[in-house]
Amino acid sequence: MGHWVMNTNDELAHLYYSKQLTTVVAVEQALATSLDQASIYATLATAVQQLFPDMATIFISRYDAERKMITAMYGTHDGEPIDVTTLPEIPLLPPGEGTQSQVIHTRQPLIIAANLNDRIASGPVTYVGTEGGYTESAVYVPMLAQDTVLGVIQMQSYFANRLTEVDAKILALVANTAAVSLQNAHLYALAQSEIAERKQTEITLRNSERHLKAAQQELLELNRTLEERVRQRSAEVQDLYEHAPVGYHSLDAYGTVIMVNETELTWLGYTRDEMQGRPITDFLAPTSQATFHTVFSVFRQRGWISDMEQEFIRSDGTTLPVLISATAIYDTSGAYVMSRSTLVDMTLRKQAEVTLRRANTELARAARAKDEFLANMSHELRTPLNAILGFSEILLEQIRGPLTAGQRDALHNIESSSHHLLTLINDILDLSKVEAGRLDLQFEPIVIADLCQTSLLFVKEMALKKALKLAFSLNDHMAVMEADPKRMKQMLMNLLSNAVKFTPAGGQVRLEVIADTEDIRFVVHDTGIGIESDDLERLFQPFSQLDSSLSRQHEGSGLGLALVRRLAEQHGGSVTVESTVNMGSRFTITLPYHRVPEPEEMPSSSVIMSRNNPVHTARTCKTELELSPTKARILLAEDNENTILTIDEYLQNKGYQVVVARDGYEAIQRAEEVHPDVILMDIQMPELDGLEAIRHLRAKPEWMATPIIALTALAMPGDRERCLASGANAYLTKPVSLKGLVMLIEGLMHS
């Protein structure tokens, strides 16, 4: 049935095209018999309406090349005539501006497939009948006579993608025929005027015999003037043809060159005698010869071809890339007579394409270098941080013995500073991901009240140290929204921590959430130091701080607010700020709000808020107090000695048996020897990397079900996906929480 429908559609399209061609032929015959410009415009208008009865708007304009003005000659809107005498003349705009002006400059049709109103929003445009709805697409076709633009036909449709290249070609046939008829009518009018003058002269001669000789002499002079005008006009037309900015040639039915202009001869370096009378294929490159043989027979039947790329061979052996557009000329019986072909030199465009490709290659290389640098720096920074945080965690749990109060405070400071450094590393990576368009958001339902409470808990201790009052208000405590919980929490904690940091002791920080029908606003108020109005523009710029002096009072990297703005934009929203110096600031995150229907059993806030944390994705709900590690055997594949020492000591202290391998090959060998219950696999290792080692193990049936945790410093876009795709059950980035690692191990073992 599908094949029958396709054939039926082809037949309908062919029938519609045939009807249009029939109409075009009839119109061309009608235009050819008329020498009155008003009748020609009326016939042309009727023809366009018959060919395209569904158009919202049709305009026919006349172009005066001497005055460089465009005048509306005919117009309809929704089938009703428009009084074009009320419309102003439009001046010809510079190249690249205006739709009609662009068509006049290029002498080529222009199709606007969609968003027409945006394309013509500026410039001297007269809007007609817009109360009925805006048109979406349009076609503009020049009225050409011997490469002279006499006017423009434009059609507009209410529907996007309504007008096609075929429509433009059909319209061009009528437009060009009308242009020739208008030119003939103009010449006829000139001739009639001359004849009228001549008749008047004859009457004068008959009425005044005594002036006969003078009248006869005047008549002879008038004839000579008329002949001179015709000669001048013919020379002008010939000069336009010969020295046009594009190449012209005509081919007979066998593809032989019968006419060629001087421009094309100059481009190719041949004489007229060398080209005329020879097949055009003699001057084409081999690949273009094959294309020509395929296309020319179709062209003779179809009647046109547009923007076909070809390569000509110059007389010196070099090649000339061109774009060819051609129209076929038929006799009264419909037999092909010759082509009118136009050539556009593509040399500069080809050179620009090569330059652009080189530039794109260089940009891609720079982007790769940046990614490699960030990935390497992330790995190099995370690896020592993993040891610092791991040893801090071991010491704080007093695995190596009891601590004094001073030692515990020092370790807490080490741990806090390390987490601060990790936050900076993560902010830099997140910002680079957003700017590269590679930060994928994980949307899921979020209980807004729980999101805000969790974010406020993050700054609660900082606020208590400064005796700040924290406040929170929400107009709908049951509100649930779709968003990325990790990134939402990241935005709120950035704004709240900034508010606490820049608010003097005894002040207030308030989080206000307003959920409306279309958007939701998270507003962070503070009574802090405020921001100068001149500094607001720099506030959201990466690595930019308002106080960058050596004596500044507040630390920071200048990344937080830049990241907040990027993440808000990723969610389809925005961030704004209002501030008064010494009175406080007000930051507002505005996001689209699509209410999420509350399910019968809403998951608890802890489940919703931790869904993106790999430690909590295990199929267990055990808390730290319920955790009771088994005497499981753990294979640790890791090449960094500090990381090995940290994880080995901690896991053995928790009762695990730990076997160490220092590269991928050794990991496979030790796995076959000891048959571990869980494998911790580093990714960047010598000899054989962790991804290949995981794939090798998963290829064997005995390792199909063994839990494998990718434990790595790789944190760039796609790293997590590559690890999981290779066969890892979970993915953790260094530095890793040792407690969290134990919880994940137990969760995987009991799932």
- What is the average pLDDT across 421-441? 63
Same topology, domains 2-185 and 247-345? Answer is yes
Could you tell me the sign of the dihedral formed by the alpha carbons of 548, 554, 558, 561, in that order? negative
Q: 3-state DSSP call for residue 524?
A: strand
Least confident range from 172-176, 438-442, 467-471: namely: 438-442
pLDDT tens digits, one per residue of 16-28: 666 667 777 767 7
E strands, 424-561, are 444-447, 469-474, 480-483, 508-515, 519-526
Alpha-carbon gap, residue 60 to 89, rounded angstroms: 13
- Between 734 and 332, the higher pLDDT residue: 332
Alpha-carbon gap, residue 248 to 244, rounded angstroms: 8
Residue 543 is predicted with a pLDDT of 46
Hey, where are the domains in the chain?
A: 2-185, 247-345, 444-608, 614-749
Write down the architecture of domain 247-345 according to CATH.
Answer: 2-Layer Sandwich (3.30)
Is the domain defined by 614-749 classed in CATH 3.40.50.2300?
Answer: yes
Classify domain 2-185 at the CATH topology level. Beta-Lactamase (3.30.450)
pLDDT tens digits, one per residue of 661-706: 999 999 999 999 999 999 999 988 888 999 999 999 999 988 888 9
Determine the residue type at 557.
Answer: S
- What is the average pLDDT across 171-184? 85
Alpha-carbon gap, residue 174 to 279, rounded angstroms: 30
Residue 416 is predicted with a pLDDT of 62
**pLDDT above 70 for 610:** no
Alpha-carbon gap, residue 208 to 609, rounded angstroms: 111
**pLDDT above 80 for 537:** no
Partnered with residue 250 across adjacent β-strands are: 259
**Rg for the chain, CA atoms, rounded:** 40
Residue 91 is predicted with a pLDDT of 94
Mutual orientation of helices 690-698 and 664-674 as an angle, nearest 10°? 40
Residue in the structure block whose two tokens are 């009609």: 100
Q: 3-state DSSP call for residue 328?
A: strand
Kindly give, in sequence order, each residue whose CB lies less than 8 Å from that of residue 688, ignoring residues fewer than 6 positions away.
663, 664, 665, 667, 668
E strands, 159-262, are 247-251, 257-260
The tokens describing 44, both together, are 């042309």
- Between 147 and 616, the higher pLDDT residue: 147
The superfamily in CATH containing domain 444-608 is: Histidine kinase-like ATPase, C-terminal domain (3.30.565.10)
What percent of the chain is modeled with pLDDT above 90?
A: 35
**pLDDT above 70 for 407:** yes
What's the chain's average pLDDT?
Answer: 81
Alpha-carbon gap, residue 387 to 417, rounded angstroms: 14
- What is the average pLDDT across 726-739? 85
CA distance to 204, 383, 387, 633, 678, per residue, from 651 (Å): 124, 18, 14, 10, 12
**pLDDT above 60 for 111:** yes
- Between 550 and 672, the higher pLDDT residue: 672
**pLDDT above 80 for 2:** no
Alpha-carbon gap, residue 370 to 372, rounded angstroms: 5
State which H helix or E strand residue 493 sits in. helix 485-501
- What is the average pLDDT across 187-209? 78
Closest to 485 measured CA to CA, from 603, 624, 619, 625: 603
Alpha-carbon gap, residue 657 to 670, rounded angstroms: 13
Least confident range from 54-63, 115-124, 444-453, 460-469: namely: 115-124
Could you tell me the sign of the dihedral formed by the alpha carbons of 415, 421, 427, 433, in that order? negative
In total, the chain counts a number of residues equal to 751
- Between 387 and 159, the higher pLDDT residue: 159
**pLDDT above 60 for 106:** yes
- DSSP letter, residue 548: -
Question: Residue 467, by phi and psi: left (phi above 0), alpha (psi -120 to 50) or beta?
Answer: left
pLDDT tens digits, one per residue of 339-364: 999 999 988 888 888 888 888 878 77
Other residues' Cβ atoms within 10 Å of the Cβ of residue 394: 19
pLDDT tens digits, one per residue of 290-328: 999 899 999 999 999 999 999 999 999 999 999 999 999
Q: Angle 397-400-404 (CA atoms, 0-180°, nearest 5)?
A: 70
Residue 212 is predicted with a pLDDT of 65
* Chain-centroid distance, C-alpha 335: 47
Asked if omega into 286 is within 30° of 0 (cis), the reply is: no
- Between 725 and 434, the higher pLDDT residue: 725
- Between 550 and 191, the higher pLDDT residue: 191
Are β-strands 110-112 and 137-145 bridged in parallel, bridged antiparallel, or unpaired?
A: antiparallel
- What is the average pLDDT across 256-268? 94
Using 50, 70 and 90 to split pLDDT, how confident is the model at 367?
low
Cβ atoms of 510 and 525 within 8 Å: the answer is yes
Using 50, 70 and 90 to split pLDDT, how confident is the model at 615?
very low
pLDDT tens digits, one per residue of 57-82: 999 999 999 999 999 999 999 889 99
Cβ atoms of 734 and 387 within 8 Å: the answer is no
- The number of CA neighbours under 13 Å toward the Cβ of 357 is 5
Residue 180 is predicted with a pLDDT of 85
Whether the full predicted model's pTM is greater than 0.85, yes or no, is no
The DSSP code sequence of 105-174 is HH-S-EEE-S-HHHHTSSSS----SGGG----EEEEEEEEETTEEEEEEEEEESSTT---HHHHHHHHHH
Kindly give, in sequence order, each residue whose CB lies less than 8 Å from that of residue 629, ignoring residues fewer than 6 positions away.
654, 655, 656, 742, 745, 746
Using 50, 70 and 90 to split pLDDT, how confident is the model at 518?
confident
